[in-house]
Amino acid sequence: MAQFEEVSQKSAYGTAGFRTNSKQLDHVMFRMGLLATLRSKKTKATIGVMVTASHNPEEDNGVKLVDTMGEMVTPAWEGYATQLANTEQEGLLTALKDVIDREAISMAQEASVFVSKDTRPSSESLSQAVLDGVHALESHSKGALTLGFNYTLIFDCWFELQKLVSSYKQVYSFVPNRTDDQKALLVDGANGIGALKVCEMETYLKKELQLSLFNDGSSGKLNHLCGADYVKVQQKGPIGVEMSAGERCCSCDGDADRIVYYYCDSIATLISTYLKELLTQAGLDLQIAVVQTAYANGSSTRYLEDTMKVIVRCTETGVKHLHHAAQEFDIGVYFEANGHGTVSRKPTCTYLHTNLENAALLLQNTVNLINQTVGDAISDMLLIEAVLTIRGMTVKQWDAIYTDLPNRQLKVKVADRSVIGTTNAERRTVSPAGLQEAIDSLVNKHRQARSFVRPSGTEDVVRVYAEADTQESADALAHEVSLAVY
Ligand code: 16G
Ligand code: ZN
């Protein structure tokens, strides 16, 4: 049974659940085990608990609940999570009863919880604490219990891997004579779970894709000097990967739900352009939209709206927001600038399967490459490879679709980041007073400039983003805005 520690600092269910140094998480894990069990009883379905801190340092860890369709839980349940995580041990029973009453949960209902973990050393004992929580609740109620346990939730089973592999082979059969150069892809596994999966897949795809895996977890530390976040934020190649000109390279993050291709982050542009062309060729009148966040480069937004004429929506940061917005369209493409994303399609789009015209067949196979839950770096990688193959494009040509405005991201440590309130999909601040006016006047001093600040949902920092016509200008603006925040 997990030990309860004194809850010193208030933890909040952030952008992707709780996240902090792994030493402070034991009690939070236990309580998420309790809450997942309640959620499962309420929904009468399986609930996932994912133990990971994704791209954060190996010393950190985190936990998020995964709802019945693979999505994040609703705001009300995030609220319960925060409440449970911060309750003193004496108040825990009352807090639990409160959730049970408010949600009218029948404790006799069967529960089914699936716990997954990434490859961090601390994930072993922390996932055990989740299981302890599940067992603790179940031993006090009459409900039967199903418990699953594995490594990552996404993309775990062999069957799923085979489905991706065979869809990729099908797509590939449309363009069989790809040169060796075009088939070569360098993959940075970030010393995490993605490395294990790429290793497994490599053997099945030898003919179609030559994967060279780096940072495979055999020696390096998770996310250390490698991985999607490092590459994106530091704008540097990962350690151990020697890239030569024109080579395609991509990086997963620690739990393999993000992917970044260098030196290009216009994944959504590439995919939506391709899907739109296929829809036109197949004569299908479906609504396609791209969902972005404030971090999306201004040039990509302009290109999508003005040239591609696709619908563009902006939401708050975090897959949970983008995913819901994407689901409102027949086909919704979303990729955050940091590499998180996927393509969702409405169930009504399944009639694609009955149309066997060439374009539709290709569309069907392409769609089968997509893992529609909240994002899976390995399926995204195969999707991008498929699009590049079909279009006969090099990374350079992809990069040339539009030109990103130079940009800079910084983080600022402040005493209390929660004083910063935002609106309009985090593009403007509403508090503290005067901050937005200060940002506006700094932005006005630069050309083609845009800047915003928001409290991070995964780290104790405020994030600053700036873009402008030159790198010097973007750097200066980011710096000036940081000072205004501080
Ligand atoms: C998490 C989110 C990601 C978001 C990022 C923002 C998931 C699976 N991942 O990684 O979507 O972009 O947090 O972090 O939900 P921040 O709030 O620290 O900037
Ligand atoms: Zn991740």
Q: Which one is predicted more confidently, 221 or 159?
A: 221
296-301-304-307 Cα dihedral, nearest 10 degrees: -140
Read off the pLDDT band of 232 (50, 70, 90).
Answer: confident
CA distance 379 to 71: 17
From ligand 2's centre to the CA of 207, what distance in Å?
29
- CATH architecture, range 158-262: 3-Layer(aba) Sandwich (3.40)
Residue 7's pLDDT is what? 38
pLDDT at 158: 62
**CA 154 vs CA 150, 269, 406, 417, 436: distances in Å:** 10, 24, 34, 32, 39
158-262 shares the fold of 18-150:
yes
Report the nearest atom of ligand 1 relative to the CA of 320. 15
Identify the band that residue 3 occupies on the pLDDT scale cut at 50, 70 and 90: very low
Q: What is the pLDDT of residues 204-225, one digit of tens each?
A: 998 899 999 999 989 899 999 9
Distance 130 CA to ligand 1 centre (A): 22
Task: Give the pLDDT confidence score for residue 245 in this predicted structure.
Answer: 60
Atom of ligand 1 nearest to the CA of 375: 8
List, in order, residues 6 or more apart from 153 with CB less than 8 Å away. Answer: 48, 50, 66, 114, 116
How much of the chain is in helix, strand and coil states, percent to nearest 5? 40, 20, 40
Top-ranked range on mean pLDDT: pick from 235-244, 326-335, 367-376, 442-451: 442-451
Across 154-169, average pLDDT: 73
Reported as a pLDDT band with limits 50, 70 and 90, residue 6 is very low
CA of residue 390 to ligand 1 center, whole Å: 31
Residues near 213 by beta carbon (within 8 Å), at least 6 away in sequence: 187, 189, 195, 198, 199, 202
pLDDT digits (tens, 9 = 90+) for 78-89: 999 999 999 999
Instruction: Determine the residue of 50, 335, 458 to mutate for testing ligand 1's pocket, defined as the one with the most ligand atoms within 8 A of the Cβ atom.
Output: 458
Please write the tens of the pLDDT for every residue from 259-279.
998 754 568 888 998 998 888
341 alpha carbon – ligand 1 mean position (Å): 11
54 carries an active-site annotation: yes
pLDDT of residue 156: 47
Q: What letter would DSSP give residue 185?
A: E
Residue of minimum CA distance from atom 1 in ligand 1? 16
pLDDT given at position 308: 86
Residue linked to tokens 């004569």? 283
What percentage of the chain has pLDDT greater than the value 90?
A: 51
Span from the CA of 65 to the centroid of ligand 1 (angstroms): 14
User: Would you say residue 372 has pLDDT above 80?
Assistant: no
Query: Which residue's alpha carbon is nearest to atom 2 within ligand 1?
Result: 318
Amino acid at the residue 347: P
Q: Tell me, what's the pLDDT at 150?
A: 45
Residues with a CB atom less than 6 Å from ligand 1: 15-16, 54, 257, 317-320, 336, 338, 340, 374, 456-459, 463
Ligand 2 centroid to 255 CA: how many Å?
A: 5
pLDDT > 70 fraction of the chain, expressed in percent and rounded = 90
pLDDT beyond 60 at 130:
yes
Of 22, 19, 25, 20, the residue nearest 3 (C-alpha):
25
Mean pLDDT of the residues in the chain: 86
Ligand 1 site-directed mutation target among 15, 66, 373, 464, most atoms within 8 Å of CB: 15
Which CATH homologous superfamily contains domain 407-485? Alpha-D-phosphohexomutase, C-terminal domain (3.30.310.50)
Q: What is the pLDDT of residues 386-401, one digit of tens each?
A: 888 888 888 888 888 8
pLDDT tens sequence across 427-450 = 999 999 999 999 999 999 999 999
Instruction: Enumerate the known binding-site residues.
Output: 54, 253, 255, 257, 336-338, 454-458, 463
Mean pLDDT, to the nearest integer, of 150-156? Answer: 42
Residue 99, pLDDT above cutoff 50 = yes
ipTM above threshold 0.90? yes
pLDDT of the residue at 157: 57
Atom of ligand 1 nearest to the CA of 257: 8
Report whether CATH 3.40.120.10 matches the domain 18-150: yes
What CATH number belongs to 267-384? 3.40.120
pLDDT at position 132 is 93
What are the domain boundaries of the chain?
18-150, 158-262, 267-384, 407-485
Among 117-126, 173-182, 255-264, name the most confident range: 117-126
Closest atom of ligand 1 to 322 CA is 11
Q: Of 20, 345, 58, 391, which Cα lies nearest the Cα of 193?
A: 58
DSSP E strand stretches across 151-279? 184-188, 210-214, 249-252, 259-262
Residue nearest to atom 11 of ligand 1 (CA): 318
Note the pTM of the prediction, 2 decimals. Answer: 0.71
Of all protein residues, the one whose alpha carbon is nearest to atom 19 of ligand 1 is 456
If we measure between CA atoms, which residue out of 364, 360, 298, 285 comes closest to residue 329?
A: 285
Which residues belong to the annotated binding site for Mg(2+)?
54, 253, 255, 257
Ligand 2 is an ion; residues with CB less than 5 A from it: 54, 253, 255, 257-258
Atom of ligand 1 nearest to the CA of 55: 10
**pLDDT at position 122 over 70:** yes
Catalytic residue selected from 22, 40, 54, 167: 54
Q: Which residues contact 346 (CB under 8 A, 6 or more apart)?
A: 327, 329, 330, 331
The pLDDT assigned to 441 comes to 98
Mean pLDDT value across residues 291-310: 92
